[in-house]
Amino acid sequence: LWRQIRLPLSASVRDRLSTEFGASDPEASLLAGVVSVLGQPLGVGQGNNPTCQAARAIAMWSYTDPDYLLQLIASAASLDDLQMNFEGTLLSSNALSGGLAKGRLVEVDPVSAVLVPHLDRLYLEMGRLCADRGGDPHEWINPEMHGWWVPRRFNIAVDVPTGKLVDIDGFISRIHATFHPAYNGDQPLIHPSPAGIAVTDSSARFVGWHAIALLRVAPDPSGEMRFYFFNPNNDGGQDWGNGVHVSTSGNGEFYGESSLPFADLASRLYIFHSQPHPVESHPEVSAAETGRIRQMIVESWGADRV
């Protein structure tokens, strides 16, 4: 933080912070934002912007790799540029055109105001570089963008060219083998794990794909096994239809966490990363539990994908 205290800001960043936050002292505004993000990693939000990937990245770096986050902030704030490697190719945000967010960012914190425009462009460019591979680009983007702690094994519930469900029973089994303590040898999540969900509305109709971070799996105070996760959309408690109600308090959540019973979130996951499973076998997921989750998928976002 000593570097951050004395960090000179580029003229464009000073103007951006002054415009967004009405700050007469942009350096102090950014420093306050940095302290806030480091102290409350799960307080980062995407605001009213299509930048869930970037908001999630900031939260995960603050949560597990804060020194790297500080380096990114220093580069973006002083140089108004961010460089990242993608599979050996050096990318510079200054050399890239606009990302998913068009125009100025709305309802974001100072760190996001500085970082997200760069992360947004880099994310879109990484997607472009692997667009012809035929699979979901997050298979390659997530480990390259976020860090070494994102496993390379990739799991997806849909066939990308057709959008149809594929090997859904195997996908459900791998969710359990990766995350559920009763099926993975009681192994906890060590680092936040980037994942993608199929968001549904209160009538369980498909709305779109969304980036979240899986944080932990544990029994809630009543003994029910739950997924605890970070949702960057500033609205952690939502009704996803068919009885799937996201909780943000009262079920063992820490500050900034959302949670759902294990099966409920499993029914909305469509991509996740996992470590290779050890050779020794673990209990198989029962046909009844697999069928229950499969039915929840088919009756919601998978209705037109069978």
Instruction: Give the end of a domain, one of 101, 131, 161.
Output: 131
How far out from the chain centre does Cα 281 lie?
30
Same domain for 113 and 155, yes or no, is no
Same domain for 212 and 97, yes or no, is no
Same domain for 126 and 155, yes or no, is no
In a domain, 138, yes or no: no
Same domain for 167 and 273, yes or no, is yes
Same domain for 115 and 165, yes or no, is no
Same domain for 229 and 263, yes or no, is yes
- Of the candidate ranges 109-118, 171-180, 232-241, 264-273, the one whose mean pLDDT is the lowest: 232-241
Residues 257-305 have pLDDT tens digits of: 999 999 999 999 999 999 887 656 678 999 999 999 999 999 999 999 9
Same domain for 8 and 125, yes or no, is yes
CB atoms near residue 196 (< 10 Å): 21
Same domain for 83 and 211, yes or no, is no
Residue 78: domain span: 2-131
In a domain, 145, yes or no: no
Same domain for 108 and 165, yes or no, is no
In a domain, 143, yes or no: no
Q: What is the bridge-based pairing of β-strands 269-274 and 193-200?
A: antiparallel
Residues 113-143 have pLDDT tens digits of: 999 999 999 999 999 999 999 899 999 999 9
What domain count does the chain have? Answer: 2
Q: What is the mean pLDDT of residues 167-187?
A: 95
In a domain, 167, yes or no: yes
In a domain, 303, yes or no: no
In a domain, 144, yes or no: no
In a domain, 248, yes or no: yes
State pTM to two decimals. Answer: 0.94
Nearest to 212 by CA among 131, 126, 271, 164: 271
- Residue 251 pLDDT more than 60? yes
Residues 11-65 have pLDDT tens digits of: 999 999 998 888 689 999 999 999 999 998 898 888 888 889 999 999 999 999 9
> pLDDT-derived band of residue 144, with 50, 70 and 90 as boundaries?
very high
- Rounded distance between C-alpha atoms, residue 266 and residue 275, angstroms: 18
Same domain for 121 and 244, yes or no, is no
Matching residue, tokens 């002083």: 78
Same domain for 26 and 79, yes or no, is yes
Same domain for 204 and 274, yes or no, is yes
Residues 145-173 have pLDDT tens digits of: 999 999 999 999 999 999 999 999 999 99
Average pLDDT, the chain: 93
Q: What is the mean pLDDT of residues 174-198?
A: 95
Instruction: Give the end of a domain, one of 80, 101, 131.
Output: 131
In a domain, 141, yes or no: no
